[in-house]
A and B are shown apart, each in its own frame.
Chain A
Amino acid sequence: MVEASHKLYVKKAVPASAWRACLQVLRRDLLLSLRRRSEFSNPLFFYVIVVSLFPLAISPAPKTLQMIAPGVIWVAALLATLLALEHLFRSDYDDGSLEQLVLSPHPLAALVFAKVVAHWLVTGLPLLLLTPMLAMFLHLSAQQTSILLLTLFLGTPTLSLLGAVGAALTVGLRNRGLLLALLILPLYIPVLIFAVASVVNAGVGVVVTGQLAVLGALCVLALCLTPVTTAAALKVTLT
């Protein structure tokens, strides 16, 4: 009776609305990063600067650079991702948007996944686009560069997804950046190993489909497990 008299409470189920909510979160996050560009461009500059330090620190000899290039680029990408991840939930936590996200009737894991996708689109993807230039700096062959891009394409989503768990666990803390690195870097080791190995192997003409398959498998595993874990972590740390 009460319900019937109250015109506000007409509840109309909209099918696939969780999907629409995710798209809206994705859209909102992309719009936000468009309006505060520095937050997302800084890690990219960091990436370029770190990589250009190595020729200065070690040697500008093309042979040496070629040898260290896969490792250097990957470690720099790892660190840049880590830096960018600090911002994944930060502003949402500070202004309370995260609370509203958690209180939404939609599954938090799906919303969180949308946020990670948005984050990868503005950090991981530009990183990928900058890489050919850096590969040229370090005298990588075209063939190695293409494999490097492939590993980054398969690997950086895993880094973002895994990092999201760490970002969620440290969201309310003051010195979260350093702690995030402590928690997450050890977990990045498998991706690093397989990615660098496939670029190195490609350089000596070994078939690398196996390593790439492992990277793909890690990515799929992260896709399946991390959104739920991140959501659980957020529910804990938001208190």
Chain B
Amino acid sequence: MNGQNNINTEVAPLLNAQNLLCERGERVLFANLSLSLYAHQALHVRGVNGSGKTSLLRILCGLLPAVEGEIYWCGRDVRHCQHEYRAQLAYVGHKSGIKAELTAQENLRTAQMLLAHAPACSPTDALDRLGLANVINLPCGLLSAGQQQRVALARLLVSGARVWILDEPFTALDQNIVALVSALIVEHVQAGGAVMLTSHQVVALPGIELNYFTLN
């Protein structure tokens, strides 16, 4: 695990993990892992297949319990501020969380209702920004894999969450859409958000510095 956080470390991190231990089956994926995620930071988690990238992201989201270790949100143990943490967290994983039988708009409306606060932008606007304006009323089952992924990413804009945790967000996306999504990430980071992502592609985020965290 190599260094990161050459960013301004005097500010308290938004998200801070201490001594995480992750086991899947009988195998230890990583032990004693500590990392921090700051506002204005984009963090790319790298590692070979099976090194536990997805597990790490899921642990940070609270979907997977760490065998050992603690996670802090703004300095507080997440177990004691789950509501605040989840209100500021948006996760897009391998599974899109998109219902094939519902239209893109209906899907996003559900996502909007699951928030504990007013949405940051309307479902229609979010889909529009991802270039899906023309398929807004089609059942998602009829959309291509790339389009479905974009519907899932549109959830980030609706949520207005401060921390985005993205597991392979560029999967199945065309080159120009990758650029579009990258631009959204840049905008989010510049506005004070934080992004943690995994990607097997080269991630280009023009205008901001991309930090790396490598799992071995």
Contact = CB atoms under 8 A, between A and B. Distances in A.
Interface string A67-91: 0000000000000000000000001
Interface string B115-131: 11110110000000000
B97 interface: yes
B192 A99 contact: no
Contacts of A7: 191
Given A105-B115, A106-B114, A99 B97 contact: yes
A102 B113 contact: no
B110 interface: yes
Interface string A21-35: 101110010011001
Given A31-B106, A95-B96, A239-B64, A13 B192 contact: no
Given A11-B117, A103-B62, 12 more contacts: A2-B39, A9-B192, A17-B116, A24-B109, A28-B102, A95-B97, A95-B98, A99-B93, A100-B114, A103-B63, A105-B82, A105-B87
Contact of B110 (A24, A35, A91, A94): A24
Interface string A20-51: 11011100100110011000000000000000
Contacts of A25: 110, 113-114
B97 A105 contact: no
A173 interface: no
A69 B163 CA distance: 58
B193 interface: yes
Given A2-B39, A8-B120, A96 B192 contact: no
A233 interface: no
B192 A11 contact: no
A28 B63 contact: no
A103 B114 CA distance: 9
Contacts of A111: 114
Residue of A7, A28, A36 with most chain B CB atoms under a 10 A cut-off: A28
Interface string B51-89: 000000010011111000000000000000011101101
B200 interface: no
Interface residues of A, number: 40
A174 interface: no
Nearest to B90: A103
Interface band, chain B: 35 or more
Contacts of B116: 13-14, 17-18, 104-106
B174 interface: no
A104 B62 CA distance: 11
Interface in B177-213: 188, 191-193
Contacts of A28: 99, 102, 106, 110
Contacts of B98: 95-97
19 contacts: A11-B87, A13-B117, A14-B116, A17-B116, A18-B116, A21-B113, A31-B101, A31-B102, A35-B101, A95-B98, A96-B97, A96-B98, A99-B95, A100-B97, A103-B62, A103-B63, A104-B116, A105-B82, A106-B114
B30 interface: no
A209 interface: no
Contact of B89 (A10, A36, A95, A103): A103
A11 B86 CA distance: 13
B65 A5 contact: no
B100 interface: yes
Nearest to B188: A8
Nearest to B62: A103
Interface in A200-239: 238-239
A8 B96 CA distance: 23
Contacts of B93: 96, 99
A101 interface: yes
A96 B113 CA distance: 17
A137 B160 CA distance: 57
B81 to A, nearest CB: 11
Given A6-B191, A31-B102, A239 B65 contact: yes
Contacts of A11: 87, 117
Contacts of A102: 63
Contacts of B83: 105
